[in-house]
């Protein structure tokens, strides 16, 4: 079996493309993130349609053709060393059939994002390339910890992350080793049955989500169940489940790991024996620490939790 390809480490002065593959953004929303790239010694290069807006039932960052043009430029321009999504939202599914990797194969680069960017990361992994499931350039309404960004830059410079977490009451103990796949549950679900879906065999699945009704969460978990996903994986990592349920008001950051959502997932998985970690710090939360999609990880779920790439 071929090992997944890690892009080369970045050095000072390297260029990082900033693109909007999905939802629209304003320049003011990216100022801090772009300045951060500069302050770390890298050169941000803005996609042609980074701030374009196209309304078609949703505010996209440009038409499909415009967004396809930007992502294929970023993937294949040999002067670019990494690609950082401005945000998620919705729209990456429009692009996935049109992605070109001619130059990318010879000069692989890190792709950084989460949420809707799960689609792009699944595509890249199908082609044998890892990516970073981490915070976008646009900070969320609940903010982003400095460490969330620090750890991304550590990965870009060649240092793999290692996490030690406190135990969660719903955790299922055990040890496993495997590649991490997954990301946003709604997009994992949306890709099921397509040629762009993750290969779940012997993998450690990561899921996170935001703003889904509890019945929708259950439907997505049931779809994975019916597709045989839970018979294939070696372990599960559950990240942020933010503002889940039929909510009248937003929850505070402290309630980001929704108790009922986690209980629902735990109940659905009660018949399986693989280890499960709840409350992992990745997702639509303030402390959004990166994972390497396609990276090999050792996971120990005991009185403490260790997740080590």
The set of catalytic residues is 115, 208, 284
Runs of H (alpha helix) within the chain: 27-39, 64-76, 92-95, 102-106, 118-126, 146-156, 185-191, 214-226, 229-232, 259-268
Can you tell me whether residue 66 is helix, strand or coil?
helix
Three-state SS string over 76-119 comes to HCCCEEEEEECCCCCCHHHHHHHCCCHHHHHCCCEEEECHHHHH
Crossing angle of helices 259-268 and 214-226, rounded to 10°? 20
Distance spanning both ends of the chain, measured CA to CA: 19
Q: Residue 301 forms beta bridges with which residues?
A: 174, 305
CA distance 217 to 214: 5
């Amino acid at each position: 079996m071929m090992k997944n390809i890690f892009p080369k480490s970045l050095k000072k002065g390297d260029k990082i493309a900033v693109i909007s593959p999905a939802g629209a953004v304003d320049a003011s929303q990216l100022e801090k993130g772009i300045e951060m790239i500069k302050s770390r010694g890298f050169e941000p290069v803005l996609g042609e349609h980074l701030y374009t807006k196209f309304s078609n039932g949703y505010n996209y960052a440009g038409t499909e053709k415009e967004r396809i043009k930007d992502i294929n430029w970023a993937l294949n321009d040999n002067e670019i060393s990494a690609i950082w999504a401005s945000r998620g939202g919705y729209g990456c599914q429009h692009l996935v059939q049109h992605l070109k990797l001619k130059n990318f194969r010879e000069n692989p680069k890190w792709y950084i994002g989460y949420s809707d960017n799960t689609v792009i990361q699944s595509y890249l992994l199908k082609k044998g390339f890892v990516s970073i499931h981490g915070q976008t350039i646009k900070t969320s309404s609940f903010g982003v910890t400095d460490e969330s960004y620090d750890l991304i830059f550590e990965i870009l410079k060649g240092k793999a992350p290692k996490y030690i977490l406190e135990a969660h009451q719903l955790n299922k103990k055990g040890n496993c080793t495997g590649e991490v796949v997954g990301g946003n549950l709604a997009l994992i679900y949306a890709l099921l049955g397509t040629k762009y879906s993750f290969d779940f065999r012997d993998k450690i699945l990561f899921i996170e989500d935001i703003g889904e009704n509890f019945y929708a969460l259950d439907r997505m978990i049931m779809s994975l169940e019916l597709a045989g996903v839970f018979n294939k994986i070696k372990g599960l990592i559950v990240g942020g489940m933010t503002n889940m349920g039929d909510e009248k008001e937003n929850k505070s950051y402290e309630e980001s790991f929704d108790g009922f959502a986690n209980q629902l997932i735990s109940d659905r998985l009660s018949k399986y024996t693989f280890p499960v970690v709840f409350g992992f710090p990745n997702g639509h939360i303030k402390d959004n620490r990166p994972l390497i999609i396609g990276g090999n990880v050792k996971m120990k779920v005991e009185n403490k939790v260790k997740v080590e790439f």
